[in-house]
Amino acid sequence: MGGVTYREVLTKSALNRVQGMPFDWSLNPWAGCAHACRYCYARAYNARYRERDVGAGFDRNVEVKVNFADVLRAELRRHRKGSVAIGTATDPYQPIEGKYRLTRRCLQALAEFPMPTSLITKGTMVVRDIDVLKQLDAKEDVTVYFSIPTLREDVWRKAEPGTPAPLQRIRALRMLREAGLDAGVLCAPVLPGLSDSEASLEAVARAASEAGATAFHHRPLKIDIEIRDYYFQFLATEFPVLVPGYAQLYTGGSHADRGYERELEERVARVRNRYEFRLRPPRQREPETEQLQLAM
Ligand code: SF4
């Protein structure tokens, strides 16, 4: 892969209203993602709304919204209703976060004006922010989800070439759990023929459970129309034997055949039942200063 070009831009808004999701707002401090997962659904989003190509336009050209945390803080001052998810269309802990600290500064703003927060990442840099995650968690629930579709090294290297190794993500998860934070695993997306066997799913579930993950969820691969050619080209280059099977499985559009998805769900349920994913017990919240004053 070639190098990544970063372009600093100014944004007018940070909180993005979403519909039909388990959260009300999303936060994406970057546009594009150097983690470069071949299957990434955000490539389609990038093509649709930013008119960039789904390949290098997404993973070799990343926009840095340099004023993002300041805009977020101003928005949080005005309203804080609902819950927020960080990293729905980009990874909040892709390598450039080490320089700009946009995600860290967003978490600091949220710790000051708290909202229930979830964060999804493949980045191990999240452990750097355990301190601020704990500050926020003392006021509102925070859950960190690690995206770990497989532990298979060959699949990881080819399908997620810019990401930390899956076992490093497991290690980061363990560190968050040891710090008392809520952290689970999204085994997603599950790639047909590459990471959908019971053995592959089980390897992820076992490692997640041993690291103390509080949840284990999956999502089947969706291939949006915008990335269909791109993804099939990836398959043709790296796993050509799979191309005819995919063509058949996705003959109806962006979702895999329903029978396949049902069977996958049953497979995941079987695996999940073999391991323990213990929900974190409710926490004692720090009393608000105002409440303390009233009680005195
Ligand atoms: S880490 Fe997430 S946002 Fe980044 S390329 Fe991979 S799937 Fe897309």
pTM for this model (two decimals): 0.94
Smallest CA separation from ligand 1 atom 6, residue: 37
Ligand 1 atom at shortest distance from the alpha carbon of 89: 3
How many angstroms does the Cα of residue 37 sit away from the middle of ligand 1? Answer: 5
Report which of 131, 141, 83, 78 is spatially closest to residue 108, judged by C-alpha positions. 131
Report which of 32, 86, 29, 81 is spatially closest to residue 55, judged by C-alpha positions. 32
Burial class (CB in 10 A: 0-12, 13-18, 19+), 1: exposed
CA 292 to the chain's CA centroid: 37
How many angstroms does the Cα of residue 290 sit away from the middle of ligand 1? Answer: 41
Instruction: Say how many C-beta atoms besides its own lie within 10 A of residue 95's C-beta.
Output: 16
Is residue 36 within 6 Å of ligand 1 at its C-beta?
A: yes
How far the first Cα of the chain sits from its last, in Å, is 62
Is residue 4 within 6 Å of ligand 1 at its C-beta?
A: no
- What does the H/E/C string look like for 14-44? CCEECCCCCCCEEECCEECCCCCCCCCCHHH
Is residue 33 within 6 Å of ligand 1 at its C-beta?
A: yes
| Interval 205-252: pLDDT, tens | 999 999 999 999 999 999 999 999 999 999 999 999 999 999 999 998
CA 276 to the chain's CA centroid: 22
Is residue 35 within 6 Å of ligand 1 at its C-beta?
A: yes
Provide the 8-state DSSP code for 219. Answer: E
| Interval 61-83: pLDDT, tens | 999 999 999 999 999 999 778 99
Ligand 1 atom at shortest distance from the alpha carbon of 123: 1
| Interval 247-290: pLDDT, tens | 999 998 999 999 999 999 999 999 999 999 988 887 777 665 54
Ligand 1 atom at shortest distance from the alpha carbon of 120: 2
